[in-house]
Amino acid sequence: MGRPTWVEVDLTAVRSNLRALRAFVGEGVGVIAVVKADAYGHGAVPVARCLEETGADALAVAILEEALELRRAGIGLPILILNGFWPGEEAEIIRRDLTPAVYDEGMVVRLALEARRLKTPARYAVKIDTGMTRLGIPFEQAGEVVRRCLDREWVRCQGLYTHFSSADEPSRPATRRQIGRFSRVLAELPSGKAAGFRNHMANSAGILGFREAWCDAVRPGLMLYGINPLSRPAPLTLSSALSFKTSIVQIKTVKAGAEVGYGGDYVVSRSTRIGILPVGYADGVNRLLAPSGKVLLRGRRIPFAGRISMDLTAVDIGSAPEAGVGDEVCLIGRQGSEEITVGEFAAACSTIPYEALCRIGPRVPRIYR
């Protein structure tokens, strides 16, 4: 079995979330499922296979290496590379039938030259910057640039897209401003040349909060894994897909005044028992979790004891006198009637669920069910 620290991924939950999303957006809206960053720590290949079997229309990754991992695993869905490509990657993109984002005209030129050399047409999607001020052609210039790109031989535009900066804060005007700008860019394009495009704006928060942003397709990420990015209840049922677990490997009985961990920050106020867990910040247990964060042991909330180390963590198990070596400890997930959600785990680290999930390291094995 090896080190008793692991992540469980419930693929049934992933399937359920995709089906719930399909029912929510209805017929005619495509689903481009985001599996970048190892499917947000859930495991890109198993999750992508699950999504392909369940009816996703396409997948989205960040970089070429992530797309190649999926192609080598036999994933056949269209794959959008959200961060585009670097010089020298054109041939591999064309050979593997991938669709990179482009954010300047020169990228389309390079793709066209390589496509002509290989005698194989290339595809691309145009990213428009509508206010995120990140990758993308500025919306003021986009119509003119896209029209020139559409006249290139050997390359075909698959559609336009943009990314929201603040869709998780529906009260801010930024999202509707971005929707308006993107809609104006689309209106500038000749309707004949736009035939067959799949244009998209909405990430998970945009899907849940802005019906007018759905366009031809949506790009769910966090919600596929059962997490609501909004501060209010989601208008559909989502099931959490990930649990993060470990086990007690040693128990020490200590007296009042004992110091625990680096710096002796945790001073025991009474005789108690300290449980040692084989997991640390190298595995994604952020140091900021101590002292306010909790773990679950035998269905109870248990506090951390002292600073979290790179590979080990201590918890105060005095309130669970029946606990023993080998008992399962839950960092994220449910035990009995208690649950520590990804959102709670992230908040205790002063971060967001995206980062908390992505920081669960590769040395933590994933178990799929």
Q: Could you give the residue numbers annotated as active site?
A: 36, 262
Q: What whole-number distance in Å separates Cα of residue 9 and Cα of residue 45?
A: 12
For 210, phi then psi, to 5°, come to -140, 85
- Residue 182's SS3 state is helix
Rg of the chain (C-alpha set)? 24
Beta strands in the chain, from DSSP E residues, in sequence order: 5-9, 30-34, 58-61, 79-81, 99-102, 122-129, 137-138, 155-161, 217-218, 242-247, 250-254, 259-260, 266-267, 272-277, 294-297, 300-303, 313-316, 328-335, 338-340, 366-368
Extract the tokens encoding 65: 């290496």
Where do we find the tokens 């035939």?
195
CA distances from 323 to 98, 308, 338 (A): 52, 21, 17
Closest alpha carbon to 214 in 34, 22, 354, 13: 22
